[in-house]
Structure 1
Amino acid sequence: MAKPVLLGSAQNNAQENKPQLLATKEELVLIAEDNPVMQELALRQLMRLGYRADLVKNGRQAVEALSQRQYALVLMDCQMPEMDGYEATLLIRRQEKGERHVPIVAMTASAMKGDRENCLASGMDDYLSKPVSQNDLIRVLNKWVNKSDAESEGSGLLSPSSEKEASLGPGLAQYKKEPQATAEQQAKLLSAAPQSVSDMPLDVKELSVLYGEEDMPRLVKSFLEECETLLRDLGEAIARVNSEEISRQAHQLKGLAVVMTAFDLSQAALALERSAGKHSEEILPLFRCLQEEFVRVKDYLFQGSVEGL
């Protein structure tokens, strides 16, 4: 097993007008996430709140890590290679044998119907919808790690914060509004540009709120490089007519775009993911739309939206 990456703690900098984080007691959190950029984002958020974290990149490593060490909480991505978050949670619960129970919180950008039910059925305790706001993360930490009764009351199982969705503007609202749209409807939607109410393809201000301003240029560069890699891999999968790989790579890009507030890019990736293996005639047009939207994001960022790029 690849050993988890252990990070040091950082000071809690929650503002007074936000939910207050209870004493962390140096509790250790396990993050199961396969995408390197999303790994860093989750780690940054926890470190800003004073938590230490170990990192694993798939469900199998998460199961092994929990068999060797105690964790106060697991943040579990649902879609990972080798073993996904659902299967990993089932195995973890089986190993616990009812003698202990580590809180497992799903983290997903899917927004697909049935996701919350799948999380509950696998044995997960709660659900965070990406991008995860600091307010929502604090509520989850207080509820499951610090055992705050106030946080537990009124916060139903697997219910993402509507406050967060409102604060992130029309992009996220549109992303979650029509999760069951057909590939044909998605193609029509994507043919009209720009798609969002705002002309901004990415919300730099919200990125700073979510993840902090420290080292933002490097984070954005990592995001762009990862997108370019995924687009290249998507192009190769399309050339090989590999529907499974097209869906997997598009899913990765969709999630990455969501956590970086590039919601139109995420919508384009979502349309491609849904068309894989079902509407082969739409794959190339949707891929071109995806490429064009990425160029729009990239151009926007390099036009001075982020200092230091």
Structure 2
Amino acid sequence: MTDQADDRVSRRRYQREQMARAEAETLLEQKSRQLFEANKQLSEQSSRLEQAVSERTAELSLALNRAEAASTARSRFVATMSHEIRTPLGGMLGMIDLLSIDEQDPEKKELLDYAKTAGLGLSRIVNDVLDFSKMEAGVFVFEEEHVDIRALVESIRILAASSTNGKDRPITTKVDASVPKLFLGDATRIRQVISNLTNNALRYSLDGPIILKAKASPHPKGALLRVEVEDFGVGIAQEQIGNLFKDFSQIANSLTAAAQGTGLGLAICKRIMEGCGGEIGVESAVGSGSTFWFELPVEIVEQTTQLASHSAMQPEAAMDTILQGKRVLIAEDNIINQKLLLTYAKRMELVPELAENGRIALERFSPDDFDLVLMDVAMPEMDGLEATRRIREKWAGRDMPPILILTAHVMDAIETEAKLVGVDVVLSKPIPYDDLKHALQIAIAGSTHQSVAPSNDPVAAPETDDDLSGLSDDANKHDAFLGLMSPVSADELVSMFGMDELIDFARKYVVDSSDRLVQIETALVNEDWRQMSEQAHSIKGASLVFGFADIPGWAEFIEKAKPAQDLETVRRYIENIRERLSRITATL
């Protein structure tokens, strides 16, 4: 009995275990299927997610490409419009100037003056809109170069005084001694801001002086430059000042409509200052005038070999005759600078010999033949620094005359390289007569070199094949021509050459610069950037001699242009220079 009972118990236990196992297997199979289905769903969801991510990435990539294409198109549009609008506008203003110069009828001349005023107003609006568009498109580039704020402010004063609004208005400049002679910055943009503030001061005031001030205070970067433009015009109410620097914003007053502005000038100034790391503001009261100011941290440029300012130069009487009969080798390729330097040398009673480039200077130089060497830097075939280096190598161990170089650049790299090749003094173009004379006197006084049997035969200036006869005796045209020059350059060149010879000199300049413009255009087509830069540099240097406004700046841009970025602007500036040369020709 016991055994049978045990068998029944064991059988029931076995059956229960079998049933439990079967249930477990069924449950496991269900769970496995559920897990499989879950994994399958997860895999499908993962695939859908990957597809969605891929599609979204493709959409974002397409959107980015479209945005970049739109930005590129916008930049191209801005550059094209800049060229297409400004070029005919500049030509129109130039033609108005030419008609005005020859027009004798007072009524017609008055109409031409109205046309020019309207054209200048349109030009100002176009410039503001294009600059604003460039900023919006992200193609407004800031450069870093050496800035002479004193020269910059003075040039702005001269241009403002010659403008329609500036006639018969006292415009003065006050640059404090605390302001460094040179600092690093974007000269073009700083000029743009000061010019804008100055023009606004003239447009929004009817009388009273306009005062341009500059001072500096210590700053961790070097100096904090503060420039102020003060007027005594209508002034601005305190509650309106907050709207001054907003886009397309103008303060309503009695002069706003007559000023013909877009409301962009101050907004552009604000963006320029922010881009340069500075700030801009205004202090004003209704009826008492306004003082617009900006503050800009700047890095001071040390001047080690630069000549002292003209005002500080007082040559001693004992040095007046030290240059008489001394032989000087002048290495210069530009015919305008050749003419100027040879005339300077004749007036200093030097005996000059001309070398048209550095290679010729190297061939002609001998320590026995010259007491001085005056070497331009940028010349074809061989530049002045390389010629100096080879001269030093060729005549190593010999007692050498002083070698001075002239450059239209003001940069540390040239000064450093000049020291390495043995240059005694670096002089910056255009150099006034008295400054050059003083530099040569100091060089001779400090030199122990003696040339052998110096000749006293004068050397004539080089002749050109250009037919430049037929000088005009029209005094009005002469006045118009001198009006295109800075007053300092005009006074000095007239006293140096006399009016007739200066007119001949200017015609040579126009012919030479026009030829170089053609070479620049050819170089642009052939993608010969070096040739383009060299010719532009020459135009810049010659234009600085005459003190012509704008042309040196345009030429410098072409000289430094980046081929991939600046082609449209280069073409526009070529046309600007050509138009300005036509305007100069009309006054001759």
Q: TM-score of the superposition, structure 1-length normalised? A: 0.69
Question: Residue 283 and residue 265 in structure 1: after superposition, are their counterparts in 2 closer, same or farther (change >3 A)?
Answer: same
Aligned to 1:231: 517
Query: Per-residue deviation at 1:62?
Result: 1.2
Which amino acid is the alignment partner of residue 573 of structure 2?
C
Pairing partner for 1:140 from 439, 452, 460: 439
The equivalences for 1:34-73 within 5 A come to 34-67=333-366, 69-73=368-372
Query: Per-residue deviation at 1:294?
Result: 4.2
* Deviation per residue, 1:245-281 (Å, 9 max, x gap): 2222212212222222225211111111111xx3434
Query: Per-residue deviation at 1:24?
Result: 2.7
Which amino acid is the alignment partner of residue 209 of structure 1?
E
Q: Distance in 2 between matches of 1:250 and 1:38?
A: 14
Query: Per-residue deviation at 1:139?
Result: 1.2
Aligned to 2:575: 291
Pairing partner for 1:213 from 497, 500, 515: 497
Runs (5+) with no aligned partner, structure 2 = 1-312, 448-482
Question: Residue 210 and residue 120 in structure 1: after superposition, are their counterparts in 2 closer, same or farther (change >3 A)?
Answer: farther
Whether the 8 Å contact between 2:325 and 2:350 is mirrored in structure 1 is yes
Aligned to 1:262: 548
Query: Per-residue deviation at 1:300?
Result: 4.7
Which amino acid is the alignment partner of residue 489 of structure 2?
E
Whether the 8 Å contact between 1:132 and 1:210 is mirrored in structure 2 is no
* Deviation per residue, 1:152-200 (Å, 9 max, x gap): xxxxxxxxxxxxxxxxxxxxxxxxxxxxxxxxxxxxxxxxxxxxxxxx6
Pairing partner for 1:121 from 417, 420, 430: 420
Q: Distance in 2 between matches of 1:132 and 1:293?
A: 23
Aligned to 1:87: 386
DSSP-derived class of the 2:550 partner: helix
Query: Per-residue deviation at 1:78?
Result: 0.8
Query: Per-residue deviation at 1:126?
Result: 0.4
Whether the 8 Å contact between 2:405 and 2:426 is mirrored in structure 1 is yes
* Deviation per residue, 1:69-113 (Å, 9 max, x gap): 521100000111111111111111112223312100001112244
Q: Distance in 1 between matches of 2:522 and 2:394?
A: 40
Q: Distance in 1 between matches of 2:368 and 2:392?
A: 15
Whether the 8 Å contact between 1:33 and 1:57 is mirrored in structure 2 is yes
* Deviation per residue, 1:188-213 (Å, 9 max, x gap): xxxxxxxxxxxx65326524415713
Whether the 8 Å contact between 1:109 and 1:255 is mirrored in structure 2 is yes
Q: Distance in 2 between matches of 1:292 and 1:48?
A: 35
Q: Does 1:282 align with 2:566?
A: yes
Whether the 8 Å contact between 1:22 and 1:146 is mirrored in structure 2 is no
Aligned to 1:202: 485
Query: Per-residue deviation at 1:47?
Result: 0.7
Q: Larger relative CO (CA 8 A, sep 6+): 1 or 2?
A: 1
Q: Distance in 1 between matches of 2:396 and 2:332?
A: 25
Q: Distance in 1 between matches of 2:509 and 2:433?
A: 20
When the two chains are superposed, the root-mean-square deviation of aligned CA atoms in Å is 2.4
DSSP-derived class of the 2:431 partner: coil
Q: Distance in 2 between matches of 1:72 and 1:203?
A: 33
Aligned to 1:173: none
Q: Distance in 2 between matches of 1:293 and 1:223?
A: 13
Whether the 8 Å contact between 2:330 and 2:355 is mirrored in structure 1 is yes
Q: Does 1:97 align with 2:396?
A: yes
* Deviation per residue, 1:8-65 (Å, 9 max, x gap): xxxxxxxxx9645333341111100111111111001111111110000111211221
Question: Residue 135 and residue 205 in structure 1: after superposition, are their counterparts in 2 closer, same or farther (change >3 A)?
Answer: closer
DSSP-derived class of the 1:145 partner: helix
Compare CA radii of gyration and give the structure with the larger one.
2
Whether the 8 Å contact between 1:227 and 1:253 is mirrored in structure 2 is yes
Question: Residue 261 and residue 66 in structure 1: after superposition, are their counterparts in 2 closer, same or farther (change >3 A)?
Answer: same
Pairing partner for 1:31 from 302, 312, 330: 330
Query: Per-residue deviation at 1:289?
Result: 2.2
Question: Residue 104 and residue 258 in structure 1: after superposition, are their counterparts in 2 closer, same or farther (change >3 A)?
Answer: same
Q: Distance in 2 between matches of 1:112 and 1:267?
A: 16
Q: Distance in 1 between matches of 2:356 and 2:567?
A: 29
Q: Distance in 2 between matches of 1:23 and 1:110?
A: 29
Pairing partner for 2:409 from 110, 129, 136: 110
Q: Out of 243-252 and 54-63, give the one that drifted further.
A: 243-252
Aligned to 1:302: 586
Identity of aligned residues (%): 29
DSSP-derived class of the 2:547 partner: coil
Runs (5+) with no aligned partner, structure 1 = 1-16, 149-199, 304-308
Aligned to 2:559: 273
Whether the 8 Å contact between 1:251 and 1:269 is mirrored in structure 2 is yes
Whether the 8 Å contact between 1:262 and 1:297 is mirrored in structure 2 is no
Aligned to 2:109: none
Q: Out of 19-28 and 223-232, give the one that drifted further.
A: 19-28
Which amino acid is the alignment partner of residue 331 of structure 2?
A
Q: Distance in 2 between matches of 1:269 and 1:109?
A: 11
DSSP-derived class of the 2:519 partner: helix
Q: Distance in 2 between matches of 1:112 and 1:201?
A: 28
Q: Distance in 2 between matches of 1:201 and 1:271?
A: 21
Q: Distance in 1 between matches of 2:417 and 2:355?
A: 22
Q: Distance in 2 between matches of 1:204 and 1:225?
A: 23
Which amino acid is the alignment partner of residue 237 of structure 1?
A
